Structure 1
Amino acid sequence: MMREDQNKIIELLIEEGRRRLSRPRQQCPFETGIPEAERLLNDLENFPHLFVCACVMDRQIKAGRAWAIPYLIGKEIGGFEFHKFAEIKLSQFKEIFNRLKPHRFNERMAGYFYSAVQDIHTKYSDNASQIWADKPKSALVIRRFLEFGGVGIKIANMAANILARDFKVPMLDFSSIDIAPDVQVKKFFVERGLLRKEASNEELIYLAREIYPEYPGILDIMAWEMGRKIK
């Protein structure tokens, strides 16, 4: 049974999540430190592939660094339109990644980047926004992200959450969007006594489902922002 102060924390998480969900669409901060990269990542209508490829890159490095990678690659290949990326061979991506070193694992991530571009080409007819088109079920959006090489539960839920909360992409429901088991999110829940220190990612996911089953991921944003401030 939760204490009164813990219930208040949960209420604040839900309240902030609802506020972010209901407010008009705004510029989403990806923390790249590059104004042009921020503009392109926020232009979901014209450059959805940049958002998708950035999601694929977001692992084991700081988020802002990962989100900047499609922009850095686009600069190297002479443009940000999808056909520019589709023209690049795997060997060329590997050369660019190994030269620029935008990631910790450049050889591997070059492969994932190439694979993501090829999937967008073959599965979605060069239009990454088909992943979330036609007001899909949230489970379908997450499953489609999971089909990309290198993408696991954390990234897939993060992507769906950003699309729903920040980009206001219409979905039939939000019930399959789980809280992303991020280290900062977990740190917040442990610090507040809502989760045991040794808890698995699955425990965090099921705690969020228990608290707010209609949209477990709504608890994500405030917990992540507060978790970053905990030393």
Structure 2
Amino acid sequence: MENMPNPKIQLVEMKALGPFSWHWPEGIERFERGWAAVATVEGQEVHVRHGIGRRDAYGRPRVRSVTWVEGDPLVEGVESDDFDRSEALLSLIKVTKHHLKPDATPPPGYLSLPVVVMADEIRTPGAPQSLAVKLRHDDVAGWTRHALLRAVAWDRLRSQPTEREVLPPVSDVGPAPANVQPQDDSELHAAVVNALLAYAEQHKSAQVEPTAEFTQDQEANEFLLENDFAFLTGVLFDQGVSAERAWRAPFLLRQRLGHFDPERIAQDEAGVREAIAQPPKLHRYIEKTPRWLVLAARRVMTEYAGDAGAIWSDHPSASELQDRFKAFVGIGQKKAAMAVEILERDRGVPIRDMERSDIAYDVHLRRVFLRTRLADLDDRDHMITRARELYPERPGALDLPSWLIGRSWCRPGVPDCASCPLTQVCPKDIERASQVVSA
């Protein structure tokens, strides 16, 4: 074992968590509390989560732990027989998938951790005669080291970690459990929906101006409100980049092109591509977005006589208008539903049958719907159907508050539950959204 790696591991910061759950293939496990942490392995930053729960093991209910590295459950701990005195859990040392026998030498990385024989600490049939670490259940630094040593030994660390939010400020309490304990799913759903709608009203009343604030650039906002083709372009561009960057792009593109005439854009794909790709790039998709924009301009010229506003100016129904937007290359359900809501809500466009409006299947909304248990599956049709059932008066009204909360509080990894507007009603089922990625 002396040849095993001994990486430099450092715990950088951590935050206490309230109750959360984890979906195993065989079912859901609840954890009473835990910690989220940031650590480094040879300078590479990783996220770690350590949860404390309870499960039957070795003949009786025992305290148990799971430690995750980048969302991968890597080590489990089980209560020792002397837990009442030591508050310690045991976890097997596995350099490979096999246990280390008592006469083996622990890998160098374990020299700073207490190592015991598991069968000496759990005296019951079935306890393995194998080496294990014995750590206090709340020794986050120790559990982090143990989990990261296993991650390195098993080659489970990503070479290129994905971008993520940093942890919120350290809190002694962490995300609190929901104060409301619903009796059934319908009561929970109603409480969450009401909280979302209340936040939407609060957000609306807090706006200084009644008009939409697409970006922090007032000139760009005015251009989007005054120029219908610019609005259509913003819808097209709102993918793969921040909303502010997408919606400011039409204003900047007009500056670079010297015009924003759909007829001229329809005939100048090379010029549009050059303008979008010019540093700083207006979008990350410098091949897709010029094509989308040129095809949109051509459709506006042929189907709407050069007037993008004609897409929505004849008082269409919400479902009709969604279909019209989806006819444009580069606009799917997500963008179409978003466009209908923005036009009616923020631009005051008359649209019939808003009870047929829909949520946008957006990554921020998906996290909120899963973690609040409004939805059971990360599936577009399932979430749209749920929104229609939960708020039939106007399903799309749930879109903006969910998007705002997902973006500001219900972030990937470690959400800021403590200050979230939904904290009083949300069941905080954090791990339900652990696999949500941008669509």
User: What TM-score do you get using the length of structure 1 for normalisation?
Assistant: 0.87
SS in structure 2 of the partner of residue 175 of structure 1: helix
2:236–2:293 Cα contact (<8 Å) kept: yes
Cross-structure match for 2:222: 39
Please, which of 4, 8, 13 is the counterpart of residue 196 of structure 2? 13
1:211 matched to 2:390? The reply is yes
Distance in structure 2 (CA, Å) of the matches to 1:97 and 1:77: 9
Paired residue type of 2:211: Q
Question: Per residue, is there more strand in 1 or in 2?
Answer: 2
Post-superposition shift, 1:189? 1.7
Whose Rg is larger? 2
Cross-structure match for 1:223: 402
2:326–2:332 Cα contact (<8 Å) kept: yes
1:183 matched to 2:363? The reply is yes
Distance in structure 1 (CA, Å) of the matches to 2:187 and 2:262: 51
1:35-114 equivalences under 5 Å are 35-43=218-226, 47-80=227-260, 82=262, 85=265, 89-100=268-279, 101-114=281-294
Cross-structure match for 2:213: 29
What are the superposed Cα offsets for residues 104-123 of structure 1, whole Å, 9 maximum, x if unpaired?
11011111011111111221
Distance in structure 1 (CA, Å) of the matches to 2:304 and 2:340: 17
Distance in structure 2 (CA, Å) of the matches to 1:123 and 1:166: 25
1:129 matched to 2:313? The reply is no
1:77–1:84 Cα contact (<8 Å) kept: no
Q: Return 5+ residue gaps in structure 2 as ranges.
A: 1-183, 416-439
Please, which of 152, 160, 163 is the counterpart of residue 343 of structure 2? 163
Distance in structure 2 (CA, Å) of the matches to 1:113 and 1:8: 42
1:145 matched to 2:346? The reply is no
What are the superposed Cα offsets for residues 57-114 of structure 1, whole Å, 9 maximum, x if unpaired?
111111111111111110012134555645x511111222222421111011111011
Q: Percent of counterpart pairs with the same letter? A: 30
**More relative contact order in 1 or in 2 (CA 8 Å, sep 6+)?**
1
1:77–1:85 Cα contact (<8 Å) kept: no
2:357–2:396 Cα contact (<8 Å) kept: yes
User: What TM-score do you get using the length of structure 2 for normalisation?
Assistant: 0.47
Paired residue type of 1:93: V
Post-superposition shift, 1:35? 2.3
1:17–1:220 Cα contact (<8 Å) kept: no
Distance in structure 2 (CA, Å) of the matches to 1:215 and 1:41: 25
Question: Per residue, is there more helix in 1 or in 2?
Answer: 1
Q: Return 5+ residue gaps in structure 1 as ranges.
A: none
Cross-structure match for 2:157: none
Post-superposition shift, 1:176? 2.5
